[in-house]
Amino acid sequence: MTRDAALPEPTAEVIAVQDDLVSIAPLGDAPLVKNEVIYIIPHGPERLGRPREYLKAEVLRVRGTSAEAQVFESTQGVRIGDKVIQSGEMLSAMLGPGLLSGVFDGMQTPLADVAASHGFFLPRGVLVPALDTRRKWAFTPTVASGDVVRAGDTLGTVPEGRFAHRIMVPFGFRGSFTVERVREGAFTIEEVVATLRDARGERHDLTLMQRWPVRRSIPEALTRAGQSERLYPSEPLITTIRLIDTFFPIARGGTGCIPGPFGAGKTVLQSLISRFSAVDIVIVVACGERAGEVVETITEFPSQPDPSGDGTLMDRTVLVCNTSSMPVAAREASIYTGITLGEYYRQMGFDVLLIADSTSRWAQAMRETSGRLEEIPGEEAFPAYLDSAIKGIYERAGVFRTAHGDTGSLTVMGTVSPAGGNFEEPVTQSTLGTVKTFLGLSYDRAYKRFYPAVDPLLSWSRYRPQLADWYTREAGADWGERVDEMVELLRRGDEIARMMQVTGEDGVTTEDFVTQQKALFLDMVYLQQDAFDDVDASAPLPRQKETFDLVYQVAAQEFEFADKAAVRAFFTRLTGQFRNLNYAADGSTGRAEQIASIRQTLASAPTAYRDAAQ
């Protein structure tokens, strides 16, 4: 649709075009500002009976009297002399009720709305508001006339599904404001619900919606105003994936990455993390993935129940989709849009999880843009500022005490797709220097059909000392020590397995063979999880602790087998019993029977198998 009435007159024109990079020059005295959003109006469409197009772009660099801008859509047909409208605004997200269950592109264009009005082949140059401007929301104020408020304070709430969506004083406001008027009732996001008066006596009309520049952190602005406080992450994000929660935890409000080669299971792993993690809101950013993976999320989430028991997964999810076929600039901006939406819900006091898939393609988009700007390249032609750009994204995660006294968190997990699984490439290395949990996927483990294919000898978590007190309270004082013992068992078992590849089983002692079988047993029954089983796909922490205690009992027990055949027979039987245990639901008769059977096997194992061998 056209928006001629809503946009100002052109103030600049195109002077050069190179792919989706255009150079512009002002027509008058209007200044050119870095990161300003502009709209290019190509000649032609209206002469062919089509609506006028407005190609959205962002100014990347100002040089003298001209500027270079990255266009977020195809520049086909753009020519020298085309007029340019300067919006006077930075690239911003529309924040308000109606975001949940939404599917947007990197510019926060609602893809479902565009498809409904223009078909599934999305046209360019179409301006559609991110939020429904016709829908009415029931607004209940929490302030009254005469109250004094500041940026981030809550004016009232509207119901958004099962959540109470807080309508807050715009984050960019400075100083104190007096509530002059507040209304209660059903309103659209464009109707005035409150009027504030500042210290100079000027009035400010507020609606249910506000805008915020996506490249600027929301809590950073509020912290400077004394309206937000960063806290120390002290609790883990429970993902219900045994390998992560037990061995490589990620803090609630922390950062983590999942690097791995293509086909190693990143998509399945991040899907289960987004489904079962103990969070309120999930933001999934597909910043350049293949369309099929995005479609799978869109089609499955509306039919999957929310683990909270209220509604579906889609009711608590926002998808920001920029597939590999979409323009480079939109892919680069998508992660900033997604993290801004996450910060918005965090300021309401919610626990938010943002998953970015994959940051490699986001970095590749930056590399293409940097190359077109002819900037001095860094390693592998990535921009020299790659490291700081990655740090800038992950540093926006955190736990914050909000203006209204609640605590909200934003946990950021990014997947990285290094070519050939090379973890030495720049994007992976920059990410490793930033995050505190590293879940390295192995192609060899994926080839063996291990899931998750996270290599326990390659992965690490710097949060374990930080979360030690929490695990001591919830899992026992010796939990950390036992986990360290299991990691050492895996390392020792790997060494023996490598030796056996050279010498065969005859080249190791029976004692070493038992150690190797213990490590294999731990890997098979605890580190692996069946993503397609209704029970084993998600293991709550009490279930993990119960299973881990049994596994640790096996690993810590001293066995006396007569030969390696007896060792193999025992651990094969025990592995089968534990797998059946993993498939048995909590509280079921089958689970109780499996636990009893395992305990009986452990109690009789050394004598029974030694006698059998003799």
Can you spell out the DSSP letters for 25-91?
EESSSPPP-TTEEEEEE-SSGGGGTPPPP-EEEEEEEEETTEEEEEESS--TT--TT-EEEEEEEES
- CATH number for the segment(s) 476-613: 1.10.1140.10
Q: In angstroms, rounded to a whole number, what is the distance separating the alpha carbons of residues 578 and 555?
A: 13
Q: Residue 46: its pLDDT value, please?
A: 56
Nearest to 451 by CA among 524, 521, 517: 524
The two structure tokens encoding residue 339: 């993290």
Sort 76 into a burial class: Cβ within 10 Å, 0-12 / 13-18 / 19+: exposed
* Fold of the 137-208 domain: OB fold (Dihydrolipoamide Acetyltransferase, E2P) (2.40.50)
Q: In angstroms, rounded to a whole number, what is the distance separating the alpha carbons of residues 309 and 34?
A: 46
Q: In angstroms, rounded to a whole number, what is the distance separating the alpha carbons of residues 607 and 614?
A: 11
Sort 389 into a burial class: Cβ within 10 Å, 0-12 / 13-18 / 19+: middle
Nearest to 339 by CA among 293, 397, 275, 385: 397
* Fold of the 242-461 domain: Rossmann fold (3.40.50)
Q: In angstroms, rounded to a whole number, what is the distance separating the alpha carbons of residues 468 and 478?
A: 10
Q: Residue 75: its pLDDT value, please?
A: 87
What are residue 412's DSSP bridge partners?
255, 354
Sort 575 into a burial class: Cβ within 10 Å, 0-12 / 13-18 / 19+: middle
Q: In angstroms, rounded to a whole number, what is the distance separating the alpha carbons of residues 89 and 83?
A: 18
Q: Which residue has the tokens 């995005």?
A: 294
Q: How many CB atoms lie within 10 A of CB 148?
A: 11
CA 444 to chain centre: 26
What is the chain's length? 614
The answer to whether 285 and 323 are in contact (CB under 8 A) is no
Q: Residue 123: its pLDDT value, please?
A: 78
Q: Residue 291: its pLDDT value, please?
A: 57
The two structure tokens encoding residue 588: 């079921």
Kind and range of the H or E element at 574? helix 564-582
Q: What SS3 state is found at 258? A: strand
Q: What SS3 state is found at 207? A: coil
Between CA 79 and CA 1, with CA 37 as vertex, the angle to 5 degrees is 70
Task: For 119-186, give the secondary structure using H, E and C.
Answer: CCCCCCCCCCCCCCCCCCEEEEECCCCCCEECCCCEEEEEEECCEEEEEECCCCCCCCEEEEEECCEE
The answer to whether 130 and 209 are in contact (CB under 8 A) is no
Left if phi > 0, otherwise alpha if psi is -120 to 50, otherwise beta: which for 24?
beta
Kind and range of the H or E element at 18? strand 12-18
Q: Residue 324: its pLDDT value, please?
A: 63
Q: What SS3 state is found at 572? A: helix
* Fold of the 4-89 domain: Thrombin, subunit H (2.40.10)
Q: In angstroms, rounded to a whole number, what is the distance separating the alpha carbons of residues 244 and 248?
A: 5
Which contacts (CB < 8 Å, 24+ apart) does range 581-588 have?
581/547, 581/550, 582/525, 582/529, 582/530, 582/533, 582/535, 582/536, 582/539, 582/547, 583/530, 583/533, 583/535, 583/536, 584/535, 585/535, 586/540, 586/542, 586/543
Mean pLDDT by groups of 10 residues along the chain of 614 residues: 59 92 91 92 66 87 92 88 92 96 90 82 82 96 96 95 95 94 96 96 96 92 83 95 97 95 86 93 83 71 80 91 72 90 96 92 88 89 94 95 90 90 92 95 90 94 95 92 96 96 91 95 96 93 95 91 91 95 94 93 66 40
In the sheet that 137-141 helps form, which strands lie side by side, from edge to edge? 163-168, 154-160, 137-141, 185-187
Q: In angstroms, rounded to a whole number, what is the distance separating the alpha carbons of residues 243 and 529?
A: 9
The answer to whether 39 and 54 are in contact (CB under 8 A) is yes
The answer to whether 104 and 148 are in contact (CB under 8 A) is no
The two structure tokens encoding residue 567: 């060792």
Residues placed in the known binding site for ATP: 260-267
What are residue 92's DSSP bridge partners?
213
Q: How many CB atoms lie within 10 A of CB 563?
A: 13
The answer to whether 197 and 203 are in contact (CB under 8 A) is yes
Sort 299 into a burial class: Cβ within 10 Å, 0-12 / 13-18 / 19+: exposed
Q: What backbone torsions phi and psi does residue 272 show, to the nearest 5 degrees?
A: -70, -35
The residue extents of the domains of the chain are 4-89, 137-208, 242-461, 476-613
Sort 9 into a burial class: Cβ within 10 Å, 0-12 / 13-18 / 19+: exposed
The two structure tokens encoding residue 190: 């464009």
